[in-house]
Each structure stands twice: as structure tokens, then as C-alpha cells.
């Protein structure tokens, strides 16, 4: 049987490198790895035009479409991107000193529906008591005027106070520095952070804040998952397991290489100390794949999407993912 030729679009994360180089090959699949740096480009091309057979995809975008009845894609429990997002919340300190000061304010966000913002809002609500309904959300680019990408996000299911940044000369970062908005959240910090003295992180000691959050909740936020065109998966039901196994093997190789400190693989001078801390906090694998290892995180994301008016109901996590099992076949 000839291998199935599939195209996969993703950022070239360390856990993807063995797949991209061909060191790891999914069983029965000839995988064409497309390295696309900006995730928004991948999402827009996958959701808008289905340019790829599979790609990394925004977790919130996938779940909202799935719950709304759009079953164009099916996910496998592989998570190319995860990030704690406390450090990405920036504030104008003339207006905001503590999380509670965000109530009733204008907050900039690249895209209300983006996964990073879903997590940040959920954390602000549940961990710090911020009333999300009191906030006016200003959508736009962080680094320039206009919109963030060309998303085809679904509308919210209940009224949310969202305003587009219609200032033709100012970015969200500019609005924050000028005091026209009180804070920004999202996937990127504002460019004025570190330049304007009155713009600071809401959580200056974010590393310990994020560690404490994980130790309390067991949640390491998932940003992106891997989505496959459903028609392809239904035609070749074995590919979900073959791909999952290959992604997992690729990640394990990257993890082992990261832990080799005889010669530092990454430009992180204190990598050894970081690795010790990661082991202490997370154990052997800080980046697990699979449903069961990520159930609490995924359930939190689904809860936040429901609370924030993006899905009409919560959904069992198993519904979201194709079943995967060890690919014991050979070609």
C-alpha cells in the first residue's frame, strides 16, 4: 500500500522538528510539513479555505465551531502550543493597580474569541473576581491600526460589549500608553511595555503567580490543538492514531534533547535551573498529549467558553477528539 500524502501546517516548535526533518515519519503517511510562523495565518487559511489536510488550530475556534454543529474538522489530542498567560496582561498603572481595578474599564484584545483571551478572562474572573460583564472590550491589532488577521470567528451567543478599534492611527498598544484603554490582554504583549514607564504587567512576579496557579488547579493552558479535515479522517480512519503516535514520538525526542545539558541546545543561559524547576513543578512531562492527561485543562477551557457566551452548552471532552490508539499496523 502506497503511503498517503498529507500536508500539515504548523509553527516549527521544538516538539515538531523531528517530524519536519523526517526523523519521525507517521506510519502509512508521507507528511509534507509546512512551517508557517504566525498561527493566525495558519488558522485563517485552514478554516477559511481548508488549504491543508491537517494543521495546528486555535482550540477555542475549533471547539466553538464543533459545538455550533460545524464538523468540518476533527481534532486529535496533540497540543502544539500551550502557555500561561498571566504575563501577557498589561495595564496602564495610572488607571489600574490591581485586578479588581479592571472592573468597568476598557480593555484591548486582539480578538475577543482568541484562545489566549478566553483563558485570561477566565482566570481574571475565577481567580481574581473580575466582573467580565462590566468591561468594554476593544478589538484590534496590538502593533498597528486595524483588525487582527482575517478571522472567520463565530458571533457570541449573548450580548458582549465589544467595540472595534476604529482609530486609523493608533494600535491597541498606543491606546494603552495614551490612557484611552486601561489594559490589554491577548497573545502578544503591547509594544509599549518596557518603553512607557506607566505601562506594566498586571502581575510583575508572573512566574510565581503562574506556578501558584498551576499548583492550585493543575491547569497548564492549552492554546492550539491539531485538527484534521473530517472527510479525510472518515475515509482513512487509521490516520488519527498514526499521526498521534508520530506527534508523541516527535515530542519525546525534543524533550530528551532539551534535557541534555552537556551543550545547551537553546539560548537559555540558566536552562539547567529551569529544567530542575520544571521537574519539581510538573514531573517528567510538562507537555503531555492525550485526553486523560489534559482533562482538567480541557474542561476548564470548555467551561470558560460557555461562561463567556461562545458556546451554547458544555460538551464532554471525548466528543471533541477522534479516538486514538497505538498504531500497531505496518506498511
Tell me: the pLDDT tens digits for 159-195?
Answer: 999 999 999 999 999 999 999 999 999 999 999 999 9
pLDDT at 327 over 70: no
Give the model's pLDDT for residue 207: 97
Q: Is 262 exposed, middle or buried (0-12, 13-18, 19+ CB in 10 A)?
A: exposed
Q: Is 52 exposed, middle or buried (0-12, 13-18, 19+ CB in 10 A)?
A: buried
Q: What number is the average pLDDT over the span 270-278?
A: 96
CA distance 214 to 206: 12
CA distance 94 to 213: 27
pLDDT at 196 over 60: yes
Q: How far is CA 73 from the centre of its chain?
A: 17
Give the model's pLDDT for residue 148: 83
pLDDT at 328 over 60: no
- Grade residue 147 by pLDDT with cuts at 50, 70 and 90: confident
The predicted-structure confidence for 66-84, as pLDDT tens digits, reads as follows 999 999 999 999 999 999 9
Taking alpha carbons only, the member of 83, 40, 15 closest to residue 301 is 83
- Contact indicator for 171, 145 with CB cutoff of 8 Å: yes
CA distance 193 to 219: 27
Give the model's pLDDT for residue 150: 73
CA distance 108 to 145: 12
pLDDT at 153 over 90: no
* Residues linked to residue 122 through DSSP beta bridges, in sequence order: none
Give the model's pLDDT for residue 300: 98
Global confidence as pTM: 0.95
pLDDT at 330 over 70: no
Read off the DSSP letter of residue 94.
T
Give the model's pLDDT for residue 144: 87
Give the model's pLDDT for residue 289: 98
Q: How far is CA 121 from the centre of its chain?
A: 14
Please tell me the chain's helix, strand, coil percentages from 3-state DSSP, rounded to the nearest 5: 40, 20, 45
Taking alpha carbons only, the member of 39, 2, 17 closest to residue 226 is 39
For the beta carbon of residue 114, count every other beta carbon within 10 angstroms: 27
For the beta carbon of residue 191, count every other beta carbon within 10 angstroms: 18
The predicted-structure confidence for 214-255, as pLDDT tens digits, reads as follows 999 999 999 999 999 999 999 999 999 999 999 999 999 999
Q: Express as a percent the part of the chain with pLDDT over 70.
A: 98
Mean pLDDT taken over the chain: 95
pLDDT at 27 over 70: yes
Return left, alpha or beta for 216; rule: phi > 0 is left, psi -120 to 50 is alpha, else beta: alpha
- Contact indicator for 90, 200 with CB cutoff of 8 Å: yes
Amino acid at each position: 500500500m502506497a503511503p498517503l500524502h498529507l500536508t500539515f501546517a504548523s509553527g516549527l516548535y521544538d516538539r515538531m522538528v523531528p517530524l519536519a526533518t523526517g526523523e519521525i515519519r507517521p506510519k502509512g503517511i508521507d507528511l509534507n510539513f509546512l512551517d508557517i510562523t504566525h498561527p493566525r495565518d495558519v488558522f485563517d487559511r485552514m478554516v477559511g479555505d481548508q488549504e491543508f489536510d491537517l494543521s495546528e488550530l486555535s482550540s477555542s475556534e475549533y471547539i466553538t465551531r464543533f459545538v455550533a454543529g460545524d464538523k468540518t474538522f476533527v481534532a486529535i489530542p496533540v497540543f502544539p502550543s500551550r502557555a500561561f498567560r498571566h504575563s501577557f496582561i498589561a495595564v496602564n498603572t495610572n488607571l489600574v493597580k490591581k485586578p479588581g481595578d479592571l472592573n468597568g474599564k476598557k480593555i484591548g484584545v486582539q480578538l475577543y474569541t482568541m484562545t489566549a483571551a478566553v483563558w485570561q478572562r477566565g482566570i481574571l474572573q475565577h481567580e481574581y473576581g473580575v466582573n467580565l460583564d462590566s468591561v468594554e472590550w476593544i478589538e484590534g491589532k496590538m502593533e498597528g491600526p486595524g483588525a487582527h488577521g482575517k478571522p472567520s470567528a463565530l458571533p457570541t451567543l449573548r450580548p458582549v460589549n465589544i467595540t472595534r478599534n476604529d482609530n486609523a492611527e493608533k494600535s491597541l498598544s498606543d491606546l494603552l500608553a495614551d490612557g484611552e484603554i486601561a489594559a490589554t490582554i491577548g497573545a502578544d504583549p503591547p509594544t509599549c511595555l518596557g518603553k512607557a514607564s506607566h505601562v506594566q504587567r498586571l502581575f510583575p512576579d508572573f512566574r510565581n503567580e503562574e506556578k501558584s496557579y498551576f499548583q492550585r488547579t493543575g491547569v497548564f493552558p492549552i492554546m492550539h490543538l491539531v485538527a484534521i479535515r473530517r472527510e479525510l479522517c472518515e475515509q482513512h480512519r487509521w490516520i488519527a492514531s498514526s499521526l498521534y503516535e508520530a506527534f508523541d514520538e516527535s515530542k519525546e525526542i525534543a524533550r530528551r534533547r532539551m534535557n541534555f545539558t552537556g551543550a545547551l541546545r537553546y539560548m537559555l543561559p540558566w536552562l539547567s535551573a529551569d529544567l530542575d524547576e520544571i521537574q519539581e513543578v510538573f514531573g517528567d512531562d510538562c507537555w503531555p498529549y492525550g485526553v486523560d492527561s489534559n482533562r482538567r485543562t480541557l474542561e476548564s477551557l470548555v467551561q470558560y467558553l460557555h461562561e463567556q457566551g461562545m458556546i451554547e452548552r458544555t460538551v464532554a471532552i471525548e466528543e471533541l477528539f477522534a479516538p486514538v490508539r497505538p498504531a500497531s499496523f505496518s506498511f
